[in-house]
Structure 1
Amino acid sequence: MHLSLFIDECYPSGCDCTLLSPSPCQSVDHWREKSGMVKAFILDFDGLIVDTETPWFYAFRDIYKEHGLELGLELWSKNVGTSFEEFHPFLYLEQALQKPIDHDHIKLLSEQKYEAYLGQAAILPGVHELLQSARKKGIQLAVASSSTRDWVHGYLRTLGIFELFDVIHTAEDVKRVKPDPELYLLALESLGIGASEAVVFEDSPNGLKAAKAAGIRCVIVPNEVTRNLEFSKYDLRLTSLAEITMEVL
């Protein structure tokens, strides 16, 4: 499937539609004329490179169920792609139960359940191909994640793709994480490019808001947890990065 990304004449920013097939204006020649504008791809990590978000939701859903409570996806999604400021699963559980909980025990239990659901971490479909093709085409690569440095670096090294990235920025590098644009603005600065020369790949509404606030075009690739959430003002929406072929570059 040939997808020519971000052709403003055909798909103005803000269209609320899912583009999963080529348009007549998405020709190879047209994209080659435009491709010089794109100098870097900036990727989110959790839920985009590896689906760590779905196992975490399942883990806490189980814990809540064991306490006689239901954890809905709408509530959980408030912290997807950002920090626990809007919804903290430990504090919310305490409030719902109206009694203190053993945070250390819940933390250990959630980690055990997370590992069980995650199994062996696997890179999501299409990610490796996108990274390799971008490197061959001279397109810079960056990660901009609201997660911690140890978390992101550890997974990227385990997956064998750490060295493919020119820039990696995480929560420790900024004062405010997504949906604040600071992570993406910092990535642009580190890459030495302008917002119009980058493309962001995101899986969450918070990530999308951050990218658009930074003035960067954004491709949405939802995962199991985020696919039914509300997205707006994206430039392109895919069901998987495997839908992209790089011949158009």
Structure 2
Amino acid sequence: MGIIKAVIFDFDGLIIDTETPSYHAFDRIYREHGAELPLETFAQCIGTTFANAAFDPYDYLQQTIGRPIERQLIQTRYEEIYLEIVGESSVLPGVKGNLRRARELGLKIGLASSSSWGWIQPLLQKHNLAESFDSFLTKNKVKRVKPDPELYLASLEALGVQGGEAVSFEDSLNGFTAASAAGLRTVVIPNEVTRHMSFPGADLQLKSMADMTLDELLAVLERT
């Protein structure tokens, strides 16, 4: 497929594990209402927005307990628990090293996320990552988020490369589906919430970004 010229990273669950805290926050709310939230069920909304997902945790809670809920009150409670948990989150292993090495190799570096820029920017600043990327594509800049390929197609255009010249790093099925549809090579690194899922057709799947150096990873992908 040719030489790799760019790497494009998802954000939530890949750079910082914001998705496991999200599950634990909703799980606590469900238990407060005498219900259970299966991990496999929640995983359906990872990598996209609730409005675009096959699963909405608020609607599912109503269905499970059999009575209406005050969505705004539940959302406020969720944010309270979530921020308490995610405040302790750190950059996942291997991320900073791979970003640094990508820059040394002269690769273009993009970020493509279904989350909002207002959510991502403070976390990038907090962890000194904002200068690591050449382009930022979030849900604010597209009409359709993952699993639609629009975010990745826009990222490719912003970076000036073709799909076959770029590698995506994803942790979710929605993200992997979007990257594949846009023609990128795909590296999947599932998190605690998505590790039970299968990713048929992924070029490479790792347990952690620290499992391989970027040089090793690129060498493997350029042989495929």
TM-score scaled by structure 1? Answer: 0.83
Within-5 A mapping of 1:7-156? 37-84=3-50, 85=52, 86-156=54-124
How far does the alpha carbon of each residue in 1:60-80 deviate from its partner, in whole angstroms, 9 at most, with x for none?
011111111110112101100
User: 2:154 pairs with 180, 186, 191, which one?
Assistant: 186
| Corresponding residue of 2:222 | none
How far does the alpha carbon of each residue in 1:78-97 deviate from its partner, in whole angstroms, 9 at most, with x for none?
10001113211112212323
Most deviating of 120-129 and 98-107 = 98-107
Q: Which has the larger radius of gyration?
A: 1
Between the aligned partners of 1:231 and 1:39, the Cα distance in structure 2 is 24
Residue 247 of structure 1 deviates from its aligned partner by 4.8
How far does the alpha carbon of each residue in 1:135-179 deviate from its partner, in whole angstroms, 9 at most, with x for none?
011111100000111111121111111111000000111111111
Alignment gaps of 5+ in structure 1: 1-7, 9-33
User: 1:240 pairs with 183, 195, 208, which one?
Assistant: 208
User: SS where residue 186 of structure 2 aligns?
Assistant: strand
Higher helix share goes to which structure? 2
| Corresponding residue of 2:170 | 202
CA contact (8 A) 2:40 2:196 kept: no
| Corresponding residue of 1:25 | none
Within-5 A mapping of 1:221-232? 221-232=189-200
Q: Percent identity?
A: 48
| Corresponding residue of 2:132 | 164
Letter in 2 for 1:43: F
Runs of 4+ in 1 over 3 A off after TM superposition: 246-249
Letter in 2 for 1:163: E
Alignment gaps of 5+ in structure 2: 219-224
Structure scoring higher RCO (CA < 8 A, sep ≥ 6) equals 1
User: SS where residue 120 of structure 2 aligns?
Assistant: helix
